[in-house]
Every structure is written in C-alpha cells, then in structure tokens.
Amino acid sequence: MIDKVKELRQKTNAGMVDCRDALKEAGGDLEKAVDILRKKGISLASKKSLRAAKEGIVGSYIHLNSKIGVLVEVNCETDFVARNDEFKNFVKDLTMQVAAANPTYVTQDEVPKEVIEKEAEIIKEQCKGKPEKALEKIVEGKLKSFYQEACLLEQPYIKDPKVFIKDLLTSLIAKTGENVVVRRFTRYQLGETA
C-alpha cells in the first residue's frame, strides 16, 4: 500500500494523507484514485479562490520576429509558490497563449454588459427568421464561442486544444494548494493602433 501511495503522490503531487485516503476510496485502483484527487482538487480550488493572492510574478514574452510582446500578471498567496517552476511555467504558457490567441479579457465577468448585448444583437440579426426557441439556443451557443475567443480563461490551450486555460489554472491551484489568480495582461503588436 505504501508503494502505491508514493506512486500516487508522485503522479499527482497531492499530500500523503490525501493519496492514502483516495486509494482507500478507490479500492487500491491508481487511476480511480487520480480521478478522486482531481475532483477534490477542483472543489478545493473553488474554496481557495476566496483567499488573498498578493504574491506572484509578471511574465513576459517577445515573439521570435519581435513584432508581438506580452506581459501577464499572475498572483498567488506566497512567494514560495511564485518561485516554483510549475508556477513559472504556467505563467510562461499564458504569455504565449496571449501572444497567439489575442484575447481581450481575462474572464467572462470582465466583458462589459454592452459588449455582450451588442454581440447578442448581431447574432439575432444574422439569424432572422429562425423560430424563437431555436434563436435562444443559437445566441447562447454563439456567445459561448465569443467568450472562448475573447476571454483568456475560456480559451482552448494552444498546446492542447482539448484543455481550456481555466482547467490549467484549476490544476495549478490543486497542485500548489494556493489560490492562483490571473490578474491582467497586456499584448503589444507592432504597428497596432490603440
């Protein structure tokens, strides 16, 4: 049992007690234990989101041709986590995501109400003549696509489109045991006017 606990800990970076409990719950099945820990990590991440995140780093990225530059601020609770390689790699990946995918907002909550209303209006205009029930679903679906394009945390990860940035963030929170917040970003493109 101890060997399995060690193996699970190595795989998930979770605490020894959490690994032991997950293995018990999974009846000794490693894969089920990983799933259990991941689910717990997601619920823990939502609890941790209430804690203050005042440490962190500002990551930067300059594209190879020096025509795109990005700054991203990501906060955590302690400087210990901010110096952690996994945290730094997450920030680096975010800078490349912003450079490649060009989001406008960090989260869906940041999108101004007027922008959402305007998008919905445009979608409704494009779908004139559709039944009212269908129109609601179409607007909902197209707004979801709009969020995936405009909001960093809603975007598919450029290195693995099956994973979303918010999933990477949740996973990092679960691994570090701290609240991690993507605070803001700025993207510069040569010749672009404000």
Q: What is the CATH number of the domain that holds 38?
A: 1.10.8.10
What is the distance, to the nearest Å, from the Cα of residue 109 to the centroid of all Cα atoms in its chain? 14
Which of 161, 122, 162, 118 shows the shortest CA–CA distance to 138? 122
* Residues 61 and 103 grouped into a single domain: yes
* Residues 38 and 61 grouped into a single domain: no
Which tens digit of pLDDT belongs to each residue from 127-146? 877 787 788 888 888 999 99
Instruction: Give burial (CB, 10 Å; 0-12/13-18/19+) of 162.
Output: exposed
Q: How many domains does the chain have?
A: 3
Q: What does the pLDDT read at residue 5? A: 78
3-state secondary structure (DSSP) of residue 69: strand
Whether residue 31 lies inside any domain: the answer is yes
* Residues 117 and 139 grouped into a single domain: yes
* Residues 96 and 162 grouped into a single domain: yes
Whether residue 70 lies inside any domain: the answer is yes
* Residues 102 and 157 grouped into a single domain: yes
* Residues 103 and 122 grouped into a single domain: no
Chain-wide mean pLDDT for the chain? 86
3-state secondary structure (DSSP) of residue 167: helix
* Residues 183 and 141 grouped into a single domain: no
- Phi and psi based region of residue 102 (left: phi greater than 0; alpha: psi -120 to 50; beta: remaining): left
Mean pLDDT (whole number) for 149-168: 94
Of 45-54, 74-83, 97-106, 112-121, the range with the lowest mean pLDDT is: 45-54
Confidence of residue 89 (pLDDT cuts 50, 70, 90): very high
Confidence of residue 43 (pLDDT cuts 50, 70, 90): very low
* Residues 92 and 157 grouped into a single domain: yes
Q: What is the CATH number of the domain that holds 75?
A: 3.30.479.20
Angle at the Cα of 155 from the Cα atoms of 152 and 160, rounded to 5 degrees? 125
* Residues 122 and 68 grouped into a single domain: no
Q: Which helix (H) or strand (E) holds 131?
A: none
Whether residue 74 lies inside any domain: the answer is yes
Which of 98, 28, 36 shows the shortest CA–CA distance to 70? 98
Q: What does the pLDDT read at residue 4? A: 81
Amino acid type, 191:
G
* Residues 88 and 176 grouped into a single domain: yes
Is the distance from CB of 97 to CB of 148 less than 8 angstroms?
A: no
* Residues 103 and 164 grouped into a single domain: yes
Mean pLDDT (whole number) for 55-72: 94
* Residues 83 and 123 grouped into a single domain: no
Is the distance from CB of 70 to CB of 60 less than 8 angstroms?
A: yes
Is the distance from CB of 76 to CB of 177 less than 8 angstroms?
A: no
Whether residue 183 lies inside any domain: the answer is yes
CA-CA distance, 73 to 186, in Å (whole number)? 9
Whether residue 130 lies inside any domain: the answer is yes
Amino acid type, 190:
L
> What distances in angstroms separate CA 63 from CA 9, 153, 167, one per listed residue?
36, 21, 25
Whether residue 194 lies inside any domain: the answer is no
pLDDT higher at 164 or 12: 164
Domain that holds residue 43: 2-48
Q: What does the pLDDT read at residue 162? A: 93
Q: Decide if pLDDT at 50 tops 50.
A: yes
Q: Which residue has the tokens 């730094």?
A: 88
The phi, psi pair for 66, rounded to 5°, reads 60, 30
CA-CA distance, 94 to 60, in Å (whole number)? 9
Q: Decide if pLDDT at 87 tops 90.
A: yes
